Amino acid sequence: MKMDLANYTFAEAIAAASKTAAAYNGTTVDHKNGPAAAFILNVGTFATSCVMKLQYSENDSDWTDEPDTTAGNTVSVTLTTAGTGIVYVPNPRARYSRVVLTLGGTSVVSVVSAVGPKPSVGP
């Protein structure tokens, strides 16, 4: 399969903005639209801490934190300075995934999701 960016869908999971200390749920990724996903965190102005963790759901309403036991999945990423972090989901535990971003203080952040490769359509 040709691995180029056209085979992936990108979406805003958490809108870029200055956010205060709190937890923010990211937009859901439906693995029906692609078997793998990545959530890309970008933090500019930085306060004290920034943790992004992975959750999964079968019904898109009841969410469970991703355990450390799923082969290949990144469970969380923690930033202590401005920068970028990525949570990879090559082996989803359920149909839906999302991230929860927890900030320890006011920070400028954004999260983008990438899902793919898109399901093939026959001739």
65-81 tens-digit pLDDT? 998 876 788 899 999 88
Q: Domain locations in the chain? A: 10-116
Both structure tokens of 36: 């793998």
Entry pTM: 0.89
Domain covering 10-116 assigned CATH 2.60.120.380 in the classification: yes
Tens of pLDDT, residue by residue over 19-38, are 999 999 999 999 998 889 99
Tens of pLDDT, residue by residue over 37-71, are 999 999 998 878 899 999 999 999 999 999 887 67
Assess whether the previous peptide bond of 119 is cis (omega < 30° from 0): no
Flag whether pLDDT at 117 surpasses 70. yes
Category of 60 on φ-ψ map: left (φ > 0), alpha (ψ -120 to 50) or beta: left
